[in-house]
A and B are shown apart, each in its own frame.
Chain A
Amino acid sequence: MSEHAFIRDLREIVGRTNVLASAVDLQLYQYDGYLEEHRPEAVVFVESTEEVARVVQACNRHGKPFVPRGGGTNLTGGTVPFAGGVVIEMIRMNRVLEIDVPNLRARAQPGLFNLELGNALAPLGYQYIPDPASQKAATLGGNVAENAGGPHCFKYGVTSNHVLGLTVVLPDGRVETFGGKAADTPGLDLTGLFVGSEGTLGICTEVLVKIVRQAEGVKTLLAIYDSIEEGSETVSAIVAAGMVPATLEMMDQLVIHAVEASLHCGLPMDCATLLLIEVDGLKDDLESQAAAIGELCKAHGAREVRVAKDDAERALLWAGRRGAFGAVARLAPSFLVCDGTVPRTALPQVLKKVAEVAGKYDLRIPNVFHAGDGNLHPLILFDWRDADMKARVLKAGMEILTLCAELGGTISGEHGVGLEKLEAMRLVMTEADIQAQRRVKAAFDPANLSNPGKMFPAKEVACER
Chain B
Amino acid sequence: MNAELRSRLEAIVGPGLVFGPGEPVDGVRPALAVRPGTQDEVAEVVRACAVAGAAMIPAGGGTAMGLGNAPARADVRVHLDRLDRVVEWDPANLCITAEAGMRLEALQELVAKDRTVLPLDPPGLRRATLGGLVAAGQTGPGRLQHGTLRDWVLGLRVVLPDGERIHCGGRVIKNVSGYDMNKLFIRSLGSLGIITEVTFKLLPMPARRAAVLGRFADPARAWAVVGRTLGSFLLPEALEFLNPEAARRLDMAPDTCVLAVSLAGSPETVERQAREFGAFIQEAGGTAEVLRDAAAVRAWEGIREVLEGAFEPILCRISVPLSATATLVAATEGMAREAGFRAAVTAHAATGVLRALLVPGPDPRPGEVAMALEGLRREAEAAEGNLVLEAAPPHLKARLDAWGTPSGGLDMMKRLKREFDPLGLCNPGRFVGGI
| Stretch binding the partner chain, chosen from B27-35, B47-55, B74-82, B167-175 | B167-175
Residues of A within 8 A of B192 (CB): 188
Q: A160-B180, A345-B93 are in contact. Are A284 and B268 (CB under 8 A)?
A: yes
Interface residue total, chain B, C-beta cutoff 8 A: 86
CA distance A433 to B178 in the complex (A): 10
A69 at the interface (CB under 8 A from B): no
Residues of B within 8 A of A289 (CB): 266
**Chain A positions 389-438 with a Cβ under 8 Å from a chain B Cβ:** 408-417, 421, 425, 428-430, 432-437
Q: A184-B137, A186-B388, A434-B178 are in contact. Are A192 and B409 (CB under 8 A)?
A: no
| Stretch binding the partner chain, chosen from A3-11, A40-48, A260-268, A370-378 | A370-378
Residues of A within 8 A of B412 (CB): 170, 176, 188, 190, 443-444
Q: What are 23 A-B contacts defined by CB distance under 8 Å?
A: A161-B150, A176-B408, A181-B384, A183-B319, A184-B139, A184-B386, A186-B432, A187-B406, A188-B191, A236-B92, A240-B92, A242-B204, A281-B269, A284-B268, A285-B266, A342-B172, A370-B174, A373-B172, A373-B174, A410-B175, A413-B176, A436-B168, A437-B179
B296 at the interface (CB under 8 A from A): no
* Beta-carbon contact of A183 and B272 below 8 Å: no
CB-contact partner of A413 in B150, B172, B385, under 8 A: B172
Query: From residue A92, how far is it (CB to closest CB) to chain B in Å?
Result: 25
CB-contact partner of A188 in B170, B272, B416, under 8 A: B416
* Beta-carbon contact of A285 and B181 below 8 Å: no
A364 at the interface (CB under 8 A from B): no
Q: A411-B177, A432-B166 are in contact. Are A443 and B406 (CB under 8 A)?
A: no
Top 6 A-B pairs ranked by shortest CB distance? Answer: A192-B183, A242-B204, A177-B408, A216-B233, A413-B174, A284-B268
Query: From residue A285, how far is it (CB to closest CB) to chain B in Å?
Result: 4
CA distance A414 to B176 in the complex (A): 6
CA distance A191 to B179 in the complex (A): 12
B255 at the interface (CB under 8 A from A): no
* Beta-carbon contact of A414 and B174 below 8 Å: yes
Residues of A within 8 A of B288 (CB): none
Residues of A within 8 A of B419 (CB): 439-440, 442-443
Residues of B within 8 A of A84 (CB): none
* Beta-carbon contact of B180 and A288 below 8 Å: no
CB-contact partner of B166 in A412, A413, A433, under 8 A: A433
Q: A412-B177, A442-B419 are in contact. Are A242 and B272 (CB under 8 A)?
A: no
* Beta-carbon contact of B150 and A177 below 8 Å: no
Q: A177-B407, A344-B93 are in contact. Are A433 and B168 (CB under 8 A)?
A: yes
User: Other CB < 8 Å A-B pairs besides A184-B353, A187-B403, A188-B192, 7 of them?
Assistant: A176-B408, A187-B431, A242-B207, A374-B93, A413-B172, A428-B177, A439-B419
CA distance A408 to B268 in the complex (A): 37
Contact with B along A236-268 (1 / 0, CB 8 A): 100110111000000000000000000000000
Closest to A178 in B: B409
* Beta-carbon contact of B268 and A285 below 8 Å: yes
* Beta-carbon contact of B319 and A182 below 8 Å: yes
Query: From residue A210, how far is it (CB to closest CB) to chain B in Å?
Result: 10
B253 at the interface (CB under 8 A from A): no
**Chain A positions 280-325 with a Cβ under 8 Å from a chain B Cβ:** 281-282, 284-285, 288-289
CA distance A190 to B184 in the complex (A): 7
Residues of B within 8 A of A425 (CB): 177-178
CA distance A417 to B351 in the complex (A): 34
* Beta-carbon contact of A182 and B92 below 8 Å: no
Q: A183-B351, A184-B137 are in contact. Are A282 and B93 (CB under 8 A)?
A: no
* Beta-carbon contact of B179 and A284 below 8 Å: no
* Beta-carbon contact of B179 and A196 below 8 Å: yes
B323 at the interface (CB under 8 A from A): yes
CB-contact partner of A193 in B172, B184, B322, under 8 A: B184
Most buried by A among B164, B172, B176, B353: B176
Residues of B within 8 A of A439 (CB): 416, 419-420
Q: A157-B151, A373-B174 are in contact. Are A187 and B179 (CB under 8 A)?
A: no
CA distance A429 to B16 in the complex (A): 36
Q: How large is the interface on A (under 10, 10 to 19, 20 to 34, 35 or more residues)?
A: 35 or more
Most buried by B among A240, A375, A443, A444: A443
Contact with B along A193-211 (1 / 0, CB 8 A): 1011100000000000000
A123 at the interface (CB under 8 A from B): no
Residues of A within 8 A of B388 (CB): 184, 186
Q: A183-B352, A192-B180 are in contact. Are A440 and B167 (CB under 8 A)?
A: no
Residues of A within 8 A of B398 (CB): none
CA distance A243 to B206 in the complex (A): 9
CA distance A110 to B148 in the complex (A): 25
CB-contact partner of A410 in B151, B170, B432, under 8 A: B170
* Beta-carbon contact of B407 and A185 below 8 Å: yes
A94 at the interface (CB under 8 A from B): no
CA distance A170 to B188 in the complex (A): 21
Closest to A443 in B: B415
**Chain A positions 163-181 with a Cβ under 8 Å from a chain B Cβ:** 170, 176-181
* Beta-carbon contact of B409 and A176 below 8 Å: yes
CA distance A342 to B143 in the complex (A): 28
Q: Which residues in A have some Cβ–Cβ distance to B below 8 Å? A: 100, 102-105, 146-147, 149, 153-154, 157-158, 160-161, 170, 176-193, 195-197, 213, 215-216, 236, 239-240, 242-244, 281-282, 284-285, 288-289, 341-345, 370, 373-375, 408-417, 421, 425, 428-430, 432-437, 439-440, 442-444, 455
CA distance A149 to B174 in the complex (A): 7
* Beta-carbon contact of B177 and A282 below 8 Å: no
* Beta-carbon contact of A188 and B205 below 8 Å: no
* Beta-carbon contact of A415 and B176 below 8 Å: yes
Residues of A within 8 A of B266 (CB): 284-285, 288-289
Query: From residue B402, how far is it (CB to closest CB) to chain A in Å?
Result: 8
Closest to B381 in A: A182
Residues of A within 8 A of B176 (CB): 146-147, 196, 412-417
Query: From residue A20, how far is it (CB to closest CB) to chain B in Å?
Result: 30
B95 at the interface (CB under 8 A from A): yes
* Beta-carbon contact of B178 and A417 below 8 Å: yes
* Beta-carbon contact of A197 and B173 below 8 Å: no
Query: From residue B414, how far is it (CB to closest CB) to chain A in Å?
Result: 9
CA distance A191 to B432 in the complex (A): 16
Query: From residue B195, how far is it (CB to closest CB) to chain A in Å?
Result: 13
Q: A157-B151, A186-B386, A285-B266 are in contact. Are A341 and B174 (CB under 8 A)?
A: yes
* Beta-carbon contact of A285 and B269 below 8 Å: yes
Q: A160-B150, A285-B265, A374-B172 are in contact. Are A421 and B92 (CB under 8 A)?
A: no
B302 at the interface (CB under 8 A from A): no
**Chain B positions 186-241 with a Cβ under 8 Å from a chain A Cβ:** 186-188, 191-192, 203-205, 207, 230, 233-235
Residues of B within 8 A of A455 (CB): 178-179
* Beta-carbon contact of A413 and B92 below 8 Å: no
Most buried by A among B93, B192, B317: B93
CA distance A266 to B272 in the complex (A): 37
